[in-house]
Amino acid sequence: MQCRQCGTEIAAKAIICYKCGTATAVPEARPARRSGAAVSRGVRLWIWALIVIAVAAAVWWRVR
């Protein structure tokens, strides 16, 4: 197999050309993320903060 950039003979299973560093294959495209499926980090932080506050309030209420 020859490098498509510099023409150097490289192994058929090579990932990059050892001479010029050009990739031998086109990288696969990643699937797009679904916007509704992922919860942002900020929202998760608020949810945990509310849980901690609720537990602290419940403990305080029982101790009082």
**17 assigned to some structural domain:** yes
Phi and psi at residue 53, in whole multiples of 5°?
-65, -40
Query: What pLDDT shows up at residue 64?
Result: 81
Sites in the chain below the pLDDT cut of 50: none
Distance CA 54, CA 46 (A): 12
Question: Is the residue at 40 inside a domain?
Answer: no
- Total structural domains within the chain: 1
In a domain, 48, yes or no: no
* Residue 22 falls inside a structural domain: yes
Within a domain: residue 3? yes
Structure confidence at residue 32 (pLDDT):
66
- Give the HSE-up count for residue 36: Cα atoms under 13 Å, Cβ half-sphere: 0
| Residue 7, domain extent | 1-26
Q: What is the pLDDT of residue 34?
A: 61
- Residue 10 located in a structural domain: yes
